């Protein structure tokens, strides 16, 4: 997990390190409580192994921060925040499988299939995906049913063929090709990574009762930071060590993946990420101080080291 020390340099008056020191343990505790060991032991152990393996918890924290940005009590969005992390975790489990990216390490630990085998890893991902939606529907309290339904619909769309699944398919089909266009690369990143970032921010706002205009602005903010996040991910794959990343470094080059640094070089890629974050922060200006956590999280996306 990122040390809070890495986050202190954020160029805003808002104390992101203190904010994360409060939020990350709350998210960890909620995740631990969300899925308890049960029968059949193996599947619950496999689901908990990856869900509780650390990670930055960015998607849940973005969801809670977005809820706050429109005046909501973040506790309303805690089940949604947990569900987002369940879905993110299942996408990592499936992404790491031999049939996809074939990775041995994730979050500094052996990948799910290395510990439990491919069969259980697939099922652990499936179990987390289904439970995420059950969890939102059954655990969200103090929010009207129409808001919960709207948030579930948004999240489901972000996960399916119009979101993560679609982005992963185009990513897999692009491997080894030298003529991938910038439009295709943006499609991959907007869907594979951006869609869940966007849903994290949008669903937090929906649950808090945001207006359509507020949701549109937050969606654009999230699209920008999602794309910036993936550009930085591509850069870190080249510049960071495996120990820093908690997973194998240099995988993109090895798999001949289309990445921003490959198309634009490192300097231009960083410039584009910085530009996207600057634009994103401008969009939030009218939300005032309530959006300071989101503003600081946007900065963190380009400052991060893992």
Q: How far is the CB of 289 from ligand GRG (least distance, A)?
A: 26
d(CA 115, CA 99): 16
Residue 5, CA distances (Å) to 62, 93, 303 in order: 20, 28, 12
Q: How far is the CB of 51 from ligand GRG (least distance, A)?
A: 11
Instruction: Give Cβ neighbours of residue 65 (< 8 Å, ≥ 6 apart).
Output: 74, 204, 291, 293, 294, 297
Residue nearest to ligand GRG (CB): 55
Q: How far is the CB of 152 from ligand GRG (least distance, A)?
A: 15
Closest to ligand GRG by CB, 233 vs 252, is 233
Closest to ligand GRG by CB, 67 vs 164, is 164
Closest to ligand GRG by CB, 60 vs 72, is 60
Q: Please give the angle made by the CA atoms of 231, 237 and 238, to the nearest 5 degrees.
A: 100
* Residue keyed to tokens 């619950």: 44
Residue 51: how many CB atoms within 10 A of its CB? Answer: 22
Closest to ligand GRG by CB, 83 vs 143, is 83
Q: Which residues bind ligand GRG (CB under 6 A)?
A: 55-56, 58, 88, 91-92, 94-95, 100, 107, 129, 159, 164-165, 168, 192-193, 230, 233
H or E element in which residue 182 lies:
helix 182-189
d(CA 284, CA 224): 12
Show the tokens assigned to 60.
């849940």
Q: How far is the CB of 193 from ligand GRG (least distance, A)?
A: 4
Q: How far is the CB of 158 from ligand GRG (least distance, A)?
A: 9
Closest to ligand GRG by CB, 31 vs 129, is 129
């Amino acid at each position: 997990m990122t040390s809070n020390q890495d986050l202190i340099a954020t160029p805003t008056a808002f104390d992101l390190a203190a904010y994360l020191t409060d939020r990350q343990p709350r998210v960890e505790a909620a995740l631990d409580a969300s899925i308890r060991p049960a029968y059949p032991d193996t599947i619950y152990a496999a689901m908990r192994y990856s869900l509780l393996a650390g990670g930055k918890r960015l998607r849940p924290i973005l969801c809670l921060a977005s809820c706050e940005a429109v005046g909501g009590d973040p506790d309303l969005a805690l089940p949604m925040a947990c569900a987002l992390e369940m879905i993110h975790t299942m996408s990592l489990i499936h992404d790491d499988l031999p049939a996809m990216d074939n990775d041995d390490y994730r979050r500094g630990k052996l990948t799910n299939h290395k510990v439990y085998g491919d069969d259980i890893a697939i099922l652990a991902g499936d179990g987390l995906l289904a439970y995420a939606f059950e969890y939102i529907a059954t655990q969200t309290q103090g929010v009207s049913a129409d808001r919960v339904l709207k948030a579930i619909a948004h999240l489901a769309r972000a996960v399916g063929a119009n979101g993560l699944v679609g982005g992963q398919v185009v990513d897999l089909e692009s491997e080894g090709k030298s003529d991938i266009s910038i439009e295709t690369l943006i499609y991959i990143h907007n869907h594979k990574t951006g869609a869940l970032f966007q849903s994290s921010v949008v669903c937090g706002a929906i649950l808090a009762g945001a207006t359509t205009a507020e949701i549109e602005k937050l969606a654009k903010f999230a699209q920008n930071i999602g794309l910036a996040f993936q550009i930085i991910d591509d850069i870190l794959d080249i510049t960071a060590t495996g120990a820093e990343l908690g997973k194998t470094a240099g995988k993109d080059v090895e798999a001949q993946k289309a990445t921003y640094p490959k198309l634009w070089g490192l300097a231009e890629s960083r410039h584009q990420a910085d530009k996207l974050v600057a634009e994103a922060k401008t969009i939030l200006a009218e939300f005032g101080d309530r959006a300071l956590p989101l503003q600081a999280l946007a900065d963190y996306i380009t400052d991060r080291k893992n």
